[in-house]
């Protein structure tokens, strides 16, 4: 059984190896430029969180990294190759992504939804192989969704639905995962649940993860590296302790805050005081 | 312009929005007045503005021009104003209630019901004049809508926009099947019906306007009363309910208004598509989604559009004329497509 | 919330798992698929019913022939006048009807899934209306203008085909903007529909009344006097386009998730959208050219099929088979049960519409595609 949520071999992980990179990208919707001349490198096996105020372009950047949005100039490289010139199906075998508010057709069951994640590995003859079934079962069990496989997606709670979608991204069997605000609309325990899941994928399966997050404390706790954006530009990048400084919070979020140490995880923790201005 | 509209106005941006709305209203009023004047002056025989004025102020003037103006052009123009306003208003209401750009009144069974009633009136009773059709068409339109609503709300989920639209499409298809069953075997009826079904202001006397006026008046009143509720419904039913809106009441008022407006318009002129579809889309780009502005402006724009189309129809095909329903489709469609292509998402 | 134990390895002899998806996996060598009995049973039962109804239909007429006799003749064991009546006089009509229904059903399912809108069908998107404009112009204008004479010279089926394809091309071209958005497709389609309807109505008002009457029969959709030569272009179209449509089925499933998810899963969006729209337009254009715009089949049949066969979108094969059954059945009814032979298009609406209404009233399922 080869493709079961493949674990990247620890000896093969090279933390210097750049998997995904943005080079001088300029991103725009119609005439409106959202991100301009941005550079970013994501190395193998890293867990990166992109943070920033609303409208700073972080979701737009994630879309470009996932080849959903073509840069008007500059390029995105996947394993050193221009992503725009790589067949989309090849990309889909390496890079999985979860949009912010994905829509499932009404009446679709969880099992069928997760099975769609196998699309890049299937063809017209090979529609539901043993591997497909095993990987989907595995993805369901990783996300604790096995019991709910027969339920329609639209009958799930918010937390379950999010896990179902993550399960689909898992079944895609890619070693890069891009997640756009996977914790939106979830209560705190389900946020922790989802991020634990993503963290385990990173730690135990060697996945390279990029996630857009709103909650700075959660981002600092789970990610190895934070990337802070403001007005479409990259402002800071580094470990959570390097990035989450009181000065940066003032500059980027216009927030006066104390940064203390999270008593549980040891990561920096933001305690807001008041909004500046 | 349309591209700048979707940014919600906040705080300081309030007065420019208001200015644009007032400007839109003023522009539309001017347009309606100009269209009405053109509709009176232009025709197979062009009449100068001076003669038009003379005929209007002096009711005893007996020149040929004056008689044409008073007995033909003015009634036709008044009817066009009424019907155009009704269709624009009904379209805005439908789109507001269904939150669906497909919310054309014709989908609710109005046109199909009126068509069947008119065909029956022609084939069974031998009626062949526009004024003879009015009550049949009106009754058919009402019956069609009520049936659609009854069926659309009979399902387990009640009347949702989707069940209503599906019920409307299905019932329309059934009624048209009956229409066609009669028409394929009855050439005489087809001969009269084909002139009704294109939708036209021609050959309608002043009596028709009077016949439908009371219904239009009630429809307009209900529509304007419905505006605040529609603003709430635009936020979703749950939010509207949370803000204290009785959903069923808002829906019932809206549906009654659409039925009266569309039924009366169809009764007077035959089915006229496109006004209800295209006008609210265009007006929304100028006024924004506030129905207190959108509804009256749609009514004005509908009236202006219908009159302009009617005038164009009289000019392009002299000495004959192109029916207003045809003209509307031919000028409305490219405009509509351009509008659709412009916007990234035509959110309602 | 507790996190499940890390995944256990699943060797070939591993412990049995709970089923991941409903249905039965079938695997032969490198070929594998998931089969669901309802999704097979519905087309199978529909096909059996189709054969029966078709045989019944070929038996009815001035010279009645039993079902068994018809089937024997179709199998090549017929003789003399019966063979001529069944194979030359009656079979073409039934075959055209079945193929038209098939093409309309599949085309409707493609459009409805693609646009994620149950009201999207070749009827509401203006394609059949475009065919009507072509056909009516050929009928009405052939005597009056030189352009009309040219159209009339093409013959009605070709004029209708050109009308439908031209409208399809317009629909596609006007909708295209770095991709085909389902929402934009529907709106542009509505606009084209309005123009087509207006032009048809206008042509009818300008026609001599006998031309108008025959044009009206055409736009209602009729199978009268169809011969093998009418069936040929449609047969070729179905043989070529249907397998392609079925092959596009997998991609269609993903298109339902919205653009971002579909692209994330490796779908070449622009190509897939183009293929789906072109297939749907092609099928409907040839169908309409052969029998006129038989109304309501493309709209109602996919909705019926998805309710019978289950699933999250109208199934293509079931839509096709049920479409064929509806058209052939409606044709049989018009010729036998009604006091006066009506064009089949009236009956497809009269049968299909109440059924959809009944489903709406009864159905537990909320009504979307």
Q: Indicate the domain borders of chain B.
A: 79-341
What's the confidence (pLDDT) of residue A12? 55
Interchain CB distance below 8 Å, C350 and B104 = no
Please say whether the beta carbons of A230 and A53 come within 8 A: yes
Residues 171-190 of B with CB under 8 A from C: 171, 173-174, 176-178, 180-181, 183-185, 187, 190
Going by their DSSP bridges, the two strands A268-275 and A255-261 should be labelled as antiparallel
What are all long-range contacts of B11-16, with beta carbons under 8 Å and residues at least 24 apart?
A: none
CA distance A149 to chain C (A): 6
Distance (Å) of CA A195 to CA A157, A274, B224, B324, C138? 17, 28, 50, 62, 66
Beta bridge pairs of residue A199: none
Strand residue runs (E) in chain A: 18-29, 32-43, 47-51, 73-78, 81-82, 95-98, 176-180, 208-212, 225-230, 233-238, 255-261, 268-275
Quote ipTM for the complex: 0.80
Beta strands A208-212; A32-43: pairing state: unpaired
Q: Which of A159, A161, A176 is nearest to A114 (CA)?
A: A161
Question: Is B283 in contact with B298 (CB distance < 8 Å)?
Answer: yes
DSSP H or E segment with residue C32:
strand C31-35
CB contact under 8 A, B190 and C213: yes
> What six digits make up the tokens of C368?
């979307």
Measured between beta carbons, the chain A residues lying within 8 angstroms of C269 are: 88
Reported confidence tier of residue A224, pLDDT bands at 50, 70, 90: very high
* Contacts (Cβ under 8 Å, ≥6 apart) of B234: B96, B99, B289, B291, B348
Subunits with 3+ C-beta pairs closer than 8 A to B = C
Whole-angstrom distance, CA of residue B243 vs CA of residue B72: 50
C347 φ/ψ angles, rounded to the nearest 5 degrees:
-75, -35
Of A217, A226, A155, the C-alpha closest to A192 is: A217
pLDDT of residue C158: 92
Is A173 within 8 Å of chain C by CB?
A: no
CATH code for position C142: 1.10.3470.10
The predicted structure's pLDDT at residue B213: 92
Check: CB of residue B121 under 8 Å from CB of residue B131: no
* CATH superfamily placement of domain B79-341: ABC transporter involved in vitamin B12 uptake, BtuC (1.10.3470.10)
Task: Please state, as a whole number, how many other Cβ atoms lie within 10 Å of the Cβ of residue B248.
Answer: 11
Cβ partners under 8 Å of residue B207, min gap 6: B131
Separation in Å, CA of B227 to nearest CA in chain C:
25
Give me the domain span that covers residue C293: 82-368
What is the C-alpha to C-alpha distance for residues C340 and B209, in angstroms, rounded to an integer?
40
Find which of C14, C266, C306 to mutate to test the A interface (most A CBs within 10 Å of its CB). Answer: C266
Q: What is the mean pLDDT of chain C?
A: 85
Q: Is A104 on the interface with C (CB under 8 A)?
A: yes
Other beta carbons less than 10 A from residue C79's beta carbon:
9
B157 touches chain C (CB under 8 A): yes
Burial degree of C210 (CB within 10 A; 0-12, 13-18, 19+): exposed
Residue C3 covered by a domain: no
Closest CA relative to residue A210, chosen from A225, A197, A193: A225
- Pick from C209, C201, C179, C174: nearest CA to C189: C174
Q: Pick the closest to residue C102 from C302, C278, C275 (CA basis).
A: C302
Q: Which two tokens stand for residue B309?
A: 């189309």
* Distance in angstroms (rounded) separating the CA atoms of residues A207 and A201: 6
Total domains in chain C come to 1
| pLDDT tens profile C125-141 | 899 999 999 999 998 88
Q: Is A109 on the interface with C (CB under 8 A)?
A: yes
Distance from CA of C280 to the nearest CA of A (A): 20
The answer to whether B167 contacts chain C (CB < 8 Å) is yes
C21 contacts chain A (CB < 8 A): yes
Q: Looking at residue C176, what is its pLDDT?
A: 87
Sheet strand arrangement including A81-82:
A32-43, A18-29, A73-78, A81-82
Q: Which of A165, A192, A159 lies closest to A178 in space, CA to CA?
A: A165
In a domain, C50, yes or no: no
Grouping H, G, I as helix, E, B as strand and the rest as coil, residue C68 is: helix
Q: What's the rounded mean pLDDT across residues C356-367?
A: 62
**Which residues, other chains included, contact B106 with Cβ-Cβ below 8 Å and sequence gap of 6+?**
B172, B262, B271, B273, B276
Q: If you write DSSP's letter for every residue of C234-302 in order, what string do you get?
A: HHHHHHHHHHHHHHTHHHHHHHTT-HHHHHHTT--HHHHHHHHHHHHHHHHHHHHHHH---TTHHHHHH
Q: pLDDT class for C81, splitting at 50, 70, 90?
A: confident
Burial of B24-53, coded b for 16+ CB within 10 Å and e otherwise, reads bbeebeebbeebbbbbbbbbeeebeeebbe
C11 in any annotated domain = no
- Chain A residues with CB-CB distance to C310 below 8 A: 107
pLDDT in tens, chain B (348 residues): 333 444 444 444 456 778 888 999 999 999 999 999 998 888 777 788 788 888 877 777 778 788 788 788 888 999 999 999 999 999 999 888 877 666 666 667 888 899 999 999 999 998 888 888 889 999 999 899 888 888 877 766 666 666 777 788 788 888 888 898 899 888 899 999 999 988 888 888 888 888 899 999 999 999 999 998 888 887 877 777 777 778 888 888 998 999 899 999 999 999 888 888 889 888 988 888 888 999 999 999 999 999 999 999 988 887 788 899 899 988 888 888 887 787 654 343
């Amino acid at each position: 059984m080869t493709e079961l949520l493949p674990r990247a071999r620890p000896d093969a992980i090279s933390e210097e190896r750049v998997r995904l990179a943005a080079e001088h990208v300029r991103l725009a919707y119609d005439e409106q430029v959202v991100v301009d001349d941005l550079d970013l490198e994501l190395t193998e096996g890293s867990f990166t969180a992109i943070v920033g105020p609303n409208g700073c372009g972080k979701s737009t950047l994630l879309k470009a990294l996932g080849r959903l949005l073509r840069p008007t100039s500059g390029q995105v490289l996947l394993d050193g190759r221009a992503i725009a010139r790589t067949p989309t199906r090849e990309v889909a075998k390496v890079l999985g992504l979860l949009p912010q508010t994905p829509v499932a057709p009404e009446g679709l069951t969880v099992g069928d939804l997760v099975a769609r994640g196998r699309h890049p590995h299937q063809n017209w003859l090979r529609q539901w192989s043993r591997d497909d079934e095993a990987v989907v079962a595995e993805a369901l069990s990783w996300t604790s969704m096995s019991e709910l496989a027969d339920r329609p997606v639209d009958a799930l709670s918010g937390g379950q639905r999010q896990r179902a979608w993550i399960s689909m991204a898992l079944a895609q069997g890619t070693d890069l995962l891009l997640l756009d605000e996977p914790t939106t609309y979830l209560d705190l325990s389900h946020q922790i649940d989802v991020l634990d899941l993503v963290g385990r994928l990173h730690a135990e399966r060697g996945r390279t993860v990029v996630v857009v997050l709103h909650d700075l404390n959660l981002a600092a706790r789970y990610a190895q590296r934070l990337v802070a954006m403001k007005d479409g530009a990259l402002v800071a990048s580094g470990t959570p302790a390097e990035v989450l400084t009181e000065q940066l919070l003032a500059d980027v979020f216009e927030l006066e805050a104390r940064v203390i140490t999270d008593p549980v995880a040891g990561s920096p923790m933001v305690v807001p005081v008041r909004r500046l201005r | 312009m349309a591209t700048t509209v979707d940014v919600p106005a906040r705080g300081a941006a309030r007065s420019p929005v208001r200015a644009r709305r007032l400007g839109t209203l003023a522009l539309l009023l001017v347009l309606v007045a100009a269209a009405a004047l053109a509709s009176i002056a232009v025709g197979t025989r062009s009449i100068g503005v001076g003669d038009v004025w003379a005929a209007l102020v002096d009711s005893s003037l007996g020149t040929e021009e004056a008689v044409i103006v008073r007995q033909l052009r003015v009634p036709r123009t008044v009817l066009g104003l009424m019907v155009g306003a009704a269709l624009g208003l009904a379209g805005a209401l439908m789109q507001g209630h269904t939150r669906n750009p497909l919310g054309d009144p014709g989908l609710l069974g109005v046109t199909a019901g009126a068509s069947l009633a008119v065909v029956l009136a022609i084939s069974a009773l031998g009626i062949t004049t526009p004024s003879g059709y009015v009550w049949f068409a009106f009754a058919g339109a009402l019956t069609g809508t009520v049936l659609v609503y009854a069926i659309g709300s009979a399902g387990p989920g009640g009347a949702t926009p989707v069940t209503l639209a599906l019920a409307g499409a299905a019932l329309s298809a059934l009624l048209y099947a009956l229409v066609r069953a009669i028409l394929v075997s009855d050439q005489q009826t087809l001969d009269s019906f084909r002139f009704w079904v294109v939708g036209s202001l021609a050959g309608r006397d002043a009596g028709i306007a009077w016949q439908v006026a009371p219904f239009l008046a009630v429809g307009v009143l209900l529509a304007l009363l419905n505006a605040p509720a529609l603003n709430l419904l635009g936020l979703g039913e749950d939010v509207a309910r949370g803000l204290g809106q009785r959903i069923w009441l808002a829906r019932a008022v809206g549906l009654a208004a659409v039925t009266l407006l569309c039924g009366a318009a169809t009764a007077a002129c035959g089915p006229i598509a496109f006004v209800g579809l295209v006008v609210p889309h265009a007006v929304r780009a100028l006024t924004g989604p506030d129905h207190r502005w959108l509804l009256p402006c749609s009514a004005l724009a509908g009236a202006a559009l219908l009159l302009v189309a009617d005038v164009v129809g009289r000019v392009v095909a002299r000495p004959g004329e192109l029916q207003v329903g045809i003209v509307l489709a031919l000028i409305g469609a490219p405009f509509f497509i351009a509008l659709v292509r412009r916007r990234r998402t035509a959110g309602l | 919330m507790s996190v499940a134990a890390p995944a256990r390895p699943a060797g070939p002899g591993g412990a049995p798992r709970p089923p991941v998806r409903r249905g039965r996996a079938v695997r032969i060598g490198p070929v594998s698929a998931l089969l669901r009995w309802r999704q097979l049973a519905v087309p199978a039962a529909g096909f059996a019913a189709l054969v029966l109804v078709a045989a019944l239909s070929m038996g009815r007429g001035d010279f009645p022939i039993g079902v068994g006799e018809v089937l024997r003749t179709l199998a090549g064991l017929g003789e003399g006048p019966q063979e001529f009546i069944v194979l030359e006089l009656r079979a073409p009509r039934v075959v055209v009807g079945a193929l038209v229904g098939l093409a309309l059903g599949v085309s409707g399912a493609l459009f409805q899934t693609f646009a994620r809108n149950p009201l999207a069908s070749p009827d509401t998107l203006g394609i059949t209306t475009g065919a009507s404009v072509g056909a009516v112009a050929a009928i009405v204008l052939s005597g009056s203008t030189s352009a009309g004479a040219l159209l009339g010279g093409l013959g009605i089926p070709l004029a209708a085909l050109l009308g439908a394809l031209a409208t399809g091309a317009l629909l596609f071209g006007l909708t295209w903007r770095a991709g085909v958005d389902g929402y934009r497709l529907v709106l542009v389609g509505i606009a084209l529909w309005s123009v087509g309807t207006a032009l048809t109505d206008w042509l009818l008002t300008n026609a001599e009344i006998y031309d108008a009457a025959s044009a009206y029969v055409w736009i209602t959709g009729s199978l009268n006097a169809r011969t093998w030569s009418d069936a040929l272009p449609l047969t070729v179209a179905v043989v070529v386009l249907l397998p392609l449509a079925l092959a596009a089925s997998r991609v269609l499933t993903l298109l339902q998730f919205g653009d971002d998810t579909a692209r994330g899963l490796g779908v070449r969006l622009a190509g897939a959208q183009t293929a789906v729209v072109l297939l749907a337009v092609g099928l409907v254009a040839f169908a309409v050219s052969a029998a006129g715009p038989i109304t309501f089949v493309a709209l109602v049949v996919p909705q019926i099929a998805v309710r019978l066969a289950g699933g999250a979108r109208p199934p293509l094969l079931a839509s096709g088979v049920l479409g064929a059954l509806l058209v052939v059945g409606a044709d049989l009814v018009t010729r036998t049960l009604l006091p006066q032979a009506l064009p089949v298009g009236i009956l497809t609406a009269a049968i299909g519409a109440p059924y959809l209404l009944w489903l709406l009233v009864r159905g537990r399922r909320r009504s979307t595609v």
